[in-house]
Amino acid sequence: MEPTGKFEKMNIQAYSDENFKTKAGAPFEVMINPETYSHTYSINYTDRKNMGSNAQASDFNQMAKEKLSFKIVLDSTGVVPLSDANKRKDVEQMIKDLKGIVYDYHGSIHQPYYVELLWGAMLFKGRLDNFTIEYKMFKSNGAPLRANVSLSFIGYISEKMAAAQANQSSPDMTHIVTIKEGDTLVELCRRIYGKSKYYLKVAEHNNLTNFRNLNPGSRISFPPIK
């Protein structure tokens, strides 16, 4: 899906599947668009110490997950005009609605929803990382009239989509992986090729006599699979 830019306000849409096909209810429309937002990109490297040298080299490991963070304001003082969706809602109800989309555990999928954030040219698909509420104004009974909500999300892409984008089974592509504690050949094959059944071919390619015990720090070549 390409950004359409048709929404004046940021919309947060929940999905019940990792491929972002099945919407879960109506989107949450923010009252006031964020003044700023941060979109972070990073890369993971593995440090490698060359034998006989004190110098360390950094080998590319993988592209890290993107992160998006921003703050929004929820207000029921009457100062901010409410949309039709938020009329007759107090701050506590707005927070409940937002939590239902980005935070709450849903038994139908046994986890919180996947979310898509759309605002102008920005389109971000991910999952909630952090949800912080700062209450600012109150009624005489202590009920909040305004809240600043800080949200951060971690980008998410399904294994199927990742394999398609990276074309990981391309016949002209070879992968070199530095083994980390807990890695298994079966799991690495599933991650790289999309299927775990190639682990014996990879073991043979690397002359591994015991593929069940991989040494952390060693490097394994994953050849093109035709």
Q: What is the CATH number of the domain that holds 209?
A: 3.10.350.10
Cβ atoms of 118 and 7 within 8 Å: the answer is: yes
Q: Which of 211, 225, 128 is nearest to 173 (CA)?
A: 225
Domain identity same for 71 and 174: no
Task: Examine residue 177 and state whether it is found in any structural domain, yes or no.
Answer: yes
Higher per-residue pLDDT: 179 or 53: 179
Angle between helices 159-166 and 185-193 (to 10 degrees): 60
Task: Examine residue 4 and state whether it is found in any structural domain, yes or no.
Answer: no
Task: Examine residue 3 and state whether it is found in any structural domain, yes or no.
Answer: no
**CB proximity list for 50: less than 8 A, separation 6 or greater:** 56, 57
Residue 167, pLDDT > 60, answer no
Task: Examine residue 6 and state whether it is found in any structural domain, yes or no.
Answer: no
Domain identity same for 147 and 173: no
**CB proximity list for 37: less than 8 A, separation 6 or greater:** 68, 69, 70, 122
CATH number, domain of 124, equals 2.40.30.200
Name the residue range of residue 120's domain: 11-157
Domain identity same for 207 and 176: yes
- What is the model's pTM? 0.66
Task: Please write the tens of the pLDDT for every residue from 122-145.
Answer: 889 999 999 999 999 999 999 999
Number of domains, the chain: 2
Tokens of 155: 């980008």
Domain identity same for 76 and 118: yes
Residue 101, pLDDT > 90, answer yes
Domain identity same for 106 and 179: no
Task: Examine residue 69 and state whether it is found in any structural domain, yes or no.
Answer: yes
Q: Give the pLDDT band of residue 45 (cuts 50, 70, 90).
A: confident
Task: Please write the tens of the pLDDT for every residue from 54-100.
Answer: 667 777 777 788 999 999 999 998 887 766 666 668 999 999 999 99
Task: Examine residue 162 and state whether it is found in any structural domain, yes or no.
Answer: no
Return the pLDDT at 54: 66
Return the pLDDT at 148: 97
Domain identity same for 151 and 214: no
Higher per-residue pLDDT: 50 or 109: 109
Residue 168, pLDDT > 60, answer no
Amino acid identity for residue 208 in this structure: L
